[in-house]
Amino acid sequence: MQRIRLFRTTVALGVACLILCMPSLSLGWGAGGHMMVAQIAFARLNSHAKAEVAKLLAIKVKVKLADGTQPKLSAKSKASVAAATAKSKDFVNAAHWLDDLRSAKELYDKKNPQNFGPLHFVDTPFSDDGTALPPLPTPNIITELNRDVDILRTSSDDNARAQALRFIIHFVGDVHQPLHCATRVRKDQREGDQGGNFVMISGAKNLHSFWDGGLRNFPPEGPPPQFVPPSLAKVAAATKKIVAANPDSDPAIKLNDPTNFQSWADESFALAKDVAYNGMETGTTPSAAYRTKGVQIAQQRVAWGGYRLAALLNSIWP
C-alpha cells in the first residue's frame, strides 16, 4: 500500500511539473501595445466614426462565438465578461477587452473549434531545416478581420456590431505583431513553435512574450494574476514618442488600402523571419543590437497599426 501511494504521489508530481513547465501561450501585444495602437487610431477618427464607436462601445456585449452561438458560461465567467466590458467602454481600453476575456475559460476552450484562440494569429509556417510545412489553419486573424468588417458594414444587429468593433480594435493590433504571423517549423517541432512561444530565451518567459511587451519597451501591465493595464497617462506619453519617430507619411503604410489584411500579415511574417527569429534559440540571451532593432520594429508596427485602424474605421463610417 505504501508503494502504491508513493507511486501515485510521484505520478502526480510529474504531471504537475509538466503542466508548470509548459509555456503559457501569449495572445498578442500586451495591454500597453494594444492601447497605444488604439490611442493612435482614435486621434485620427473622423466625427462620424467617433460617434459610431461611442454608441457601440456603450453596449453590454452578449458574447457570441464565430458560428453565432452564445456559449454556456459559468457564473464566474459571466461575471468576468461583465467586468471586462464595464472597464473598457472607452476606445483605448477596449483594445485589451479580448485578452481580458481569457478569464472566461469557455471562450478559449480548445475543445471547442469556435473558441477565440485561433483568431488572434495566422501562423504562417517556415522552416530553416527543410522540414515539411504544415497547412495554414483556418479560421485565423485574416478571415476573422474580414468577417468583422463585413458585420460592421452590413449587419443590423447592434450586439454583433459591438463585438465586431472590439474584435477589430484588438486584431488590427495583433496582426502587426510579427510573431502573430509566423511559426518556425523544425524536425522536433513539426507543427511549429507557435510564434516563438516555445522558444525559451534568457531573461524572458519566451520569445513571443518578449515581443508582446515591445522587448520591454512598452508601458507594462501589473503583476499576475490581475495584469492591470497601464494608465492612460503612461500610454499617452509612450504613444507620443512612437508617433514622432514613425510619422504616417511613409507611403508603405498604404492608408488608401485599409482592408488589405493579408499584406499586413505578410509584412509581419517577413519581420518575424528576418528580425524576431534571427539568432533566437532556446537559451539565447538577446543581444543589445537585437533589442535595439527589435524595439524600433515593435514601435513602428504599433504606429502603423494605429494609422491603419483609423483608416479602416473611417472607411466604414466616412
pLDDT at 9: 41
Q: Which of 81-85, 290-294, 302-306, 311-315 has the least mean pLDDT?
A: 81-85
Give residue 25's pLDDT band: very low, low, confident or very high (50, 70, 90): low
Residue 172 in grid coordinates: 488590427
pLDDT at 13: 40
Per-residue three-class SS string for the chain? CHHHHHHHHHHHHHHHHHHHHCCCCCCCCCHHHHHHHHHHHHCCCCHHHHHHHHHHHCCCCCCCCCCCCCCCCCHHHHHHHHHHHHCCCCHHHHCCHHHHHHHCHHHHCCCCCCCCHHHHCCCCEEECCCCCCCCCCCCCHHHHHHHHHHHHHHCCCHHHHHHHHHHHHHHHHHHCCHHHCCEEEECCECCCCCCCCCCCCCCCCCHHHHHHCCCCCCCCCCCCCCCCCCCHHHHHHHHHHHHHHCCCCCHHHCCCCCCCHHHHHHHHHHHHHHHHCCCCCCCCCCCHHHHHHHHHHHHHHHHHHHHHHHHHHHHHCC
User: Residue 185: which CATH number?
Assistant: 1.10.575.10
Q: Which of 4-18, 28-42, 164-178 has the least mean pLDDT?
A: 4-18
pLDDT at 184: 98
Mean pLDDT of the region 12-30: 50
Question: Which structural domain range is residue 256 located in?
Answer: 26-316
Residue 133 has pLDDT above 90, yes or no: yes
| Residue 200 is assigned to a structural domain of this protein | yes
| Residue 270 is assigned to a structural domain of this protein | yes
pLDDT at 275: 98
pLDDT at 77: 96
Residue 23 has pLDDT above 80, yes or no: no
Give the model confidence (pLDDT) of 185-242 as tens digits: 999 999 999 999 999 999 899 999 999 999 999 999 988 877 899 999 999 999 999 9
Q: Which of 16-30, 93-107, 163-177 has the least mean pLDDT?
A: 16-30
CB 114 within 8 A of CB 65: yes
| Residue 258 is assigned to a structural domain of this protein | yes
Give the model confidence (pLDDT) of 271-305 as tens digits: 999 999 999 999 999 999 999 999 999 999 999 99
Determine the Cα–Cα distance for residues 140 and 119; give it in Å rounded to an integer.
Answer: 5
| Residue 14 is assigned to a structural domain of this protein | no
Residue 74 has pLDDT above 50, yes or no: yes
Residue 45 has pLDDT above 60, yes or no: yes
Determine the Cα–Cα distance for residues 156 and 160; give it in Å rounded to an integer.
Answer: 8
Residue 7 has pLDDT above 70, yes or no: no
pLDDT at 66: 82
Give residue 68's pLDDT band: very low, low, confident or very high (50, 70, 90): confident
Q: How many domains does the chain divide into?
A: 1
pLDDT at 17: 40
pLDDT at 29: 87
pLDDT at 26: 56
| Residue 90 is assigned to a structural domain of this protein | yes
| Residue 213 is assigned to a structural domain of this protein | yes
Share above pLDDT 90 across residues of the chain, in percent, rounded to a whole number:
87
What integer best gives the mean pLDDT of the chain?
Answer: 91
Share above pLDDT 70 across residues of the chain, in percent, rounded to a whole number:
92
| Residue 1 is assigned to a structural domain of this protein | no
| Residue 16 is assigned to a structural domain of this protein | no
Residue 2 has pLDDT above 70, yes or no: no
Mean pLDDT of the region 73-88: 94
